[in-house]
Structure 1
Amino acid sequence: MSPVDAALAYAGAGWFVVPVKPGTKNPGSLVGDGWHKQSTRHDETIRGWWAKWPAAGIALHVGRSGALVFDLDVGDVDDIPAQYRDALRQGVFQSTRMSGDRGHYLFAVEAGDNFGNSAGAFASFGEVRGKNGVVLAEPSVHPDAASKDGRYHWPTPGDLPALPEALRTCLRAAGEEAPSMSFAELEQFYAAHTAYGRPQALDGVVKVLETALAGGAARHDAARNALAMAFREAAAGCYCARDAAERIEAVFIAAFEAGKPGRTRPECGEFARTARWAAAQAGLVDPAEILARLDRDDPLLRTIDEDSFWAARPELDRLREFARARRVAPWAMVGAVLARVVVTVPPRVVLPPLVGGSASLNLFVALVGPSGNGKGAAERAAADAVILGAGVYEATPGSGEGIPKQYAYKSKGEQINIRDAVLFSVSEIDTLAALAERSSSTLMPELRKAWMGERLGFGYATVDKAVPIMGHRYRMCLVAGVQPERARFLLDDADGGTPQRFLWFPTTDADAPDRPPEEPQPWSVPAWSFGEERSAVDARAGSTPAETPGNGSRVKFGGGELLLELPMEPRRLVKLKLPPEAAEQIDRARLARLRGTAAHELDGHAQLARLKVAAALMVLAGRTDKVTDEDWELSEIVMAVSNRTRAQVQQALGARAEQANRSKGRAEGEREIARAVVVEEDKLDRAVTNLRRHLVKKKRLPRKDARGALRADLRDLIDEAADRLIAAGLAEKEEGHQGSYTLVWSGD
């Protein structure tokens, strides 16, 4: 059939039709923006259209005709799930390739059905055309006829069957599709999503896009899918949305420059329109679902058997349930629990001197997450989750000089000891950074000494002001909230050893249940005891009747006095027993550092930190005798989680720095480009003016002649000048072969 006869036949069969420019799929390319109101079954209108545009293709207005079309992009229908495959085969089929199952599967919809163009669960396999959707139909020329064996063909005729229930369910699976954003809304989206919680995830999206393009996927569809995925992850705080758009656009444009058949460049505004659509869809997905998917897909996460940790002991399983009942992250809460447990252990309980001297159990914990993501909630839940046999005094650190004063103070030259254990809590790492960055601040050196259990206080202070807190006479633990993008303060102090002394735990829980479980009873940890012959205070002080504080007063058993200013006698230290495997690993790690072959600068204190965790797990289990093989094995999982969390923070900081450098370079480049743009815009304006003048005279200009009519320095702008005239409604483009075209004057 001729195009006009075919269009009349479609109308006679009940289809609303509209002509389209040959070689395109745009239903408004000939009749204009109101095409959806102009589509018709009226014979005279159809004859008039094809008399004016005899080579026009035929677009079937799907929704107005009471139909629904599934556009399958998979070459073999057997490759899709069985329920969709069997349902598609019931439809009337129009192939869009010379061979294979790729094409249109048509169904009739019931009165009252109002399907849009959202593909629902079918999106992985193709597109859906419903209300205001169109499909081109035989004998229209396929835009990809030359490059991809494109062809429209009906193998068999027939009435459209009713939409199968399996496909109806499929369309409901993804819910509503959001309308595209405006350009202003897209800019707001970019401005709102600049976090770098998981920057490595963007590499995965770009890799998926590159793989799809290499496999022959349509460039537009591949970019569309990549942008939708990237913007959802950006909205979940994984990386900067603008950076994602820039990287995806670069790959998209490169796909046109790779010499593949078909279009040689994107359509004007094509990528921007797609970005506006993708940004709108990002708001339809729960960010928690995105993060959970990323956690499941993270290879590092799959190497850590976290479930075995929680299932190993009743107290660990109970703590995870307690955290989820309180809607906080289990790892964050357990990190705070370990700090609370350790702070109740008497200071003279130490780790044996495997390297140098005896090491303190003092523990530092970093709870990592965006501001307001649950650090404080995790600490509050930790306080309720475990009942401790000894009280916990909490404070906020001030200056380095102020830390010893949480334990003791001077009054008339006499040191008054008030406590030997403090749990320091810092809600935001910025607070610690601000204190540390003061001129002549001693905060960070004091914290590093405290982690090792070394003497606190300053020898250069005058006697009446000095508040010495001697080694292993005090217990100190620290819990700090760390926003990933603010963590550079800690990581930049790697030379000083600060980040190595922290355990890093996430404030997220990818496997959090939809409904919180019933809250279990708190876990009880008894007070540490050395035996009935000493009181708890005496045990903490490690005192004997022979010891006297610096002011000459004698300490009596049970007197409640602390001896913080007296050096601890080594013989009075209580050294925990360790499993042989732990001692051997620590010795091997130390030997590697002595020989200069240690793997990573941030792992200098890794084995000691792990040993502290093992000891904390021992205390949590209610034991005081020794660190067991199981304590040591479980501590390995804790350290793996800590290392992973720290690595994610480092990646976030690296991506943030990279983005800042790009922004700086972009700002500098834009100043240079702006000057060049002025020149180019002036040249383009002159090209448009010249082309318009020649087109008014000739009425029709093949591209070759139009290019030749321009001055030599303007000829490279022929296509941009033509697009300007077409956009202004002053010209139309008749497509030719192999990218050629003819401009036709349509102005007054």
Structure 2
Amino acid sequence: MTHDLTDQLQWVAWLQSLGMHLHPLDHPTLPTCAGRHGPRNPCDGKRGKHPATAWSRTATNDLGVLQHLFGQAPRNIGIACKPSGLLVVDEDQPNALADYAASIGQAVPATFAVRTGRVGGGMHHYYGMPPGVQLGNGLGDLKGRNIDIRGGGTGNGGYVVAPGSLHETGAFYELVDANAPVLPAPDWLIEALQANTTPPAAAPLFSQPRPAYSGIAPFVEDELARHTGDRSEDFARVAGACKRAGMTPEETADLLIQRQHPSAQKYAGRVLAEVHRVWPKLSERRATDHVDPATLIAPVVDGNLATVHHIHPVHAVTPPVLPEDFWQARPLFAHVRQAAYSRLIAPDGVMAAVLIRAATALDYRVLLPAVVGRPAALNLFGALAAGSGGGKGASLDAAAELVPFANTQNHRIIEVSAGSGEGLVKKFFARVEEKDSNNKPTGNWQWEQQVEGMYLRVDEGSLFGPLSQRKGQTTVEMLRQAWSGERLGGSYASEDRGHQLAPHTYRMCLIMGIQPEIAGFLFDDVHGGLPQRFLWLAVQSPEMPDLDNIPMHPGALTWHPPVVDARHLTGRVNNMARHLLDIAPEVAREIRAAHLDQVTGRAAADPLDGHANLSRLKVAAVLAALDDHLGVRVEDWELSRVVMDTSRAVRRWMQQRVQATDAATRKARNVAHAEREVLAESAKETAKLTRMAKRAHRYVDQLTSAGQKATKREINKRFGGSEKPLLEDALDHALGLDWIRRDGDVFVLGESMPK
């Protein structure tokens, strides 16, 4: 069965618009379950319901985050009930709720409802949880009626599978009535759930009353609500969170018992001893504390969401943007901003893409003169910085509408996506049949350059990173050379070394959308010079028009690239006729003075600014071309200063977030390693105690059957010297599991038997 991600995202967007907090689940069409399984909690074989993330943390109503979570691979949709304000009645038998309602003289309201794909029928009735209502963990009067509840209780409230999801039977979860609203839970339903739900008082651990804890840190509450199925792991996580919150071991044990945590049942009678045992090994701080759920996004690996340690997000500071003076400097800039605003897109990203498209459209024979060193191509690279769903792709589409490409006889353009270095170079060529002097085909074919301009579009930088790291990959090396207009091909083309582009015989420009979380591969190449070659602008804006003042789209720009003909080709580069742009003397002098300061050591340059003036000169030349003149004037140079200052600030903003993300990831990895060691040791200790508890049960049985008293002293004789320090814990363990019981000073058999 195929799966339509577009349809999946439409369901997500609709449910998000209703205020529901969503998270991804396994999808039955995947070859293996995408749930968060491991050796201790393997998949039970049921498909389509297992959470693909730590759902109680990742469930969110943030559409941008949800588009990332659900836009990568097939996923069923989970609805976290408590944060969504929902109380959901789950019927496993048709009309179970209606039958109960009728028995008390009531009727089920026509609320938002979903038919599940369960064989035999099933229904989810969605109700709004009344404010201030407290429900216990029981079902009250609904117990035993083939009904379950989601959204109540003292824990995380659970989740339900949303409409639009696929059941493992092949049936979809279907809406009963798409127009039905979510109605408030009726009083009779709340009263039914509250009936007889007061739990029996637990036997106190201490002889003196202990305090009830309130105001627990949010990350401690998160760990208390999180149940992986492995009680040892859950215990270690809660204990670690309590220690980081400044609680004592005694307070931690109290809290576990008061909340009836599953680990308190596992370590019945020795919770405090177990807390004391692991306490010295627990971390004081972990990167998962105080995490915003909207930032917890796991990467997609081979179609499945990978299980990762969540990292503490960088504070969401808005990246720098172009100032108001820039947008008012020229009518064309105002036109670009109005077009962006009409589509509710941040204007900086559209402006960056317009600059890249304009550079691509310029005749490849237009070059920058050798102000310093040698002539340079006007090949320009741009990076659009924003988070997932921030509008990078929309910015590129808006720019394409403003600056459509038009081929000329001397400058033919293609738009392509990222690929390998040899693959990109090869796209400039086509096989052409040779002709004789009479213009007749000869039957001989050869590769000839058929394209002069390439617009390389990468909608998401995360696609580019793996390319740059692949063994034998030449994309990054080729891009460095292309930016300067150097020779391309030859060494790139393993299958045919005839694909070579001579210097300054092509135009190649690149625009890429990239998130701070995955931009590390660019900054890893600082010494190679790749990030220096990019113009960085943000796809965010602190100011956007309100919904009542959205402007009309102004249409495409009336701009066309300046025509370059034989009159302009007065320069010579590599024995080829080229048009070398005029550079204002004041601009050339400033560039040369800065270069001299750097060469003589009078000025220390940031490695990331190694190509600063050349990049700025390229931007100035493109701004000039957009103003319908070839050549850089002082005004163009000053406008380019504004653009490059903003670019430098955005690059710094991006770099800081890359560094912070890397640091948090390393810290989380180290802490996770330490916690795994604690869990592993805890598991070994628990296994040993369990073995000793089983032996204690056997010895009690043997002594009793022989007519002897099973005292602690007699049992102690049967254990080795290295085991004796653990005997007290082993006996407590056996008592807690009711394998044995105390009868004064004697142990007798309990009701349960070890397996």
Question: Looking at CA atoms only, which structure, 1 or 2, has the larger radius of gyration?
Answer: 1
TM-score w.r.t. length of structure 2:
0.48
Greater RCO (CA < 8 Å, at least 6 residues apart): 2
